[in-house]
Structure 1
């Protein structure tokens, strides 16, 4: 059986970016485990369940999954996860990843081990910022020379104020596009396209919520898994 690990933020994951891949992979028969930095249940970004932000249907569905999915509500600590035990590791996005997942050494080690091993990594939206910090086993940035997409500066400008403060008052530590480019990534968020998913070897990156389903389908293709009828 194909197995995937979802590494989800306790500081605020974007609902659709987690739920869409979670359900798409589950429908394909993939066995899923969820991990968080401390092992506490992940926390959904309130803006991603706000009907005014995402629409009533998406908001209600994400809330239902977040509240009732046993995997999301009974995660393991990231430090207990071993990349060798999974065919894929998925890092859903959300601004919250900048305060925990992207700065977590065990999360970065999982990313390193999965791309250097036999598995696939799917990194979505703000979680792509991890590539600005994650290094391979030789100390080089994993993203150096790789083609990637992710949450673009142009979109961030519409969210933070002139002091880079979020709507809830938190100071955004960095902008994803800037950090990834500084680490040597070949950045293209394909802003003229409806969706943006980039595959470079065992690393798959996706731009944002609207690319979540396409990202999940791409991961399944890369794993050689077909959706069950």
Structure 2
């Protein structure tokens, strides 16, 4: 029976290659892929990720080949991303502590949450969080997505996260302990050297944020704690870390490798890579 992969995309823009890279690895193995967004809106690629002439400011060169731009545009223009699952419809929202009948509402929340996450985890073999700037807006601090991540980890199923999507893993925490799931783990992600100084943009928002609102490297260094580590691998062409159940990818050039390594995690029981 073929593997089933749940792929989460931002509604504020994903980076084309960071979807295409893993998707090609999954398609080659005959995996079935289902897409999900925060509210069920169709996701779209960030325009610079479809432009092979776009020069990435921190790297001083294009990071998208003509072939990859063509592939990413083909996926973005197809009907493959139509009608995604909605996190908001599937996963309940935790009530505020100020709710009038908080205890009863919290009990009902936990009942609904257990039912929803049990179904998702039983339906899929792995979770993928695609990167780009969009995840900064609607994935990193999305409590519904945090609950999905927690459920996959509790079920000992792998979670692949790319670029700014890795922040979701740092913020997905048990409500009681508040300790990051990445505590003691080895990860990679967008290092300071790769951060824009200006021009961080999102789909559907007429606003230039300037630099990213947070330095992901610093968040990951703190989240992994004294017994884990952040690996930027600056100066190396690729950076993908496997520390099961997590597969983390630094940025665009790591997309294909991250997908290939998830396949190895699923089929060859790979548990460690890159550190």
Instruction: For residues 94-139 of structure 1, give each alpha carbon's deviation from its aligned partner in whole angstroms, at most 9, with x where no partner exists.
Output: 0110000112111111111112213110011110112331114643
* Match among 119, 123, 142 for residue 181 of structure 2: 142
* Match among 70, 73, 76 for residue 85 of structure 2: 76
Q: Does 2:197 correspond to 1:160?
A: yes
TM-score where L is the length of structure 1: 0.89
Q: Does 2:18 correspond to 1:17?
A: yes
Hey, what's the Cα distance between the residues in 1 that align with 2:122 and 2:197? 38
Compute the displacement of 1:84 (Å).
3.2
**Does the 8 Å CA contact 1:87/1:118 hold for their aligned counterparts?**
no
The root-mean-square deviation of aligned C-alpha atoms, in Å, is 1.8
Q: Secondary structure at the match of 1:142?
A: coil
Compute the displacement of 1:88 (Å).
0.3
Hey, what's the Cα distance between the residues in 2 that align with 1:148 and 1:206? 8
Instruction: For residues 170-196 of structure 1, give each alpha carbon's deviation from its aligned partner in whole angstroms, at most 9, with x where no partner exists.
Output: 253212111112223510121232211
Q: Where do residues 46-195 of structure 1 align in structure 2 (5 Å cutoff)?
A: 46-53=47-54, 54-70=64-80, 72-79=81-88, 80=90, 82-136=120-174, 138-156=177-195, 159-161=196-198, 166=200, 169-171=208-210, 172-184=212-224, 186-195=229-238
Equivalence for 2:98: none
Hey, what's the Cα distance between the residues in 2 that align with 1:38 and 1:48? 23
Q: Does 2:244 correspond to 1:201?
A: yes
- Corresponding pairs, count: 219
**Does the 8 Å CA contact 1:97/1:126 hold for their aligned counterparts?**
yes
TM-score where L is the length of structure 2: 0.75
Hey, what's the Cα distance between the residues in 2 that align with 1:99 and 1:207? 18
After superposing the two structures, state which structure 1 stretch, 94-103 or 112-121, moved more. Answer: 112-121
Equivalence for 1:217: 260
**Does the 8 Å CA contact 1:141/1:184 hold for their aligned counterparts?**
yes
Hey, what's the Cα distance between the residues in 2 that align with 1:84 and 1:47? 36
Structure 2 segments unaligned to the other structure (5+ residues): 55-63, 91-116, 202-206, 269-275
After superposing the two structures, state which structure 1 stretch, 185-194 or 38-47, moved more. Answer: 185-194
Compute the displacement of 1:69 (Å).
4.1
Give the number of the structure whose alpha-carbon radius of gyration is greater.
Answer: 2
Hey, what's the Cα distance between the residues in 1 that align with 2:84 and 2:247? 23
Q: Secondary structure at the match of 1:198?
A: strand
Hey, what's the Cα distance between the residues in 2 that align with 1:18 and 1:109? 22
User: 1:124–1:131: structure 2 CA closer, same or farther, 3 Å change rule?
Assistant: same
Q: Secondary structure at the match of 1:102?
A: coil
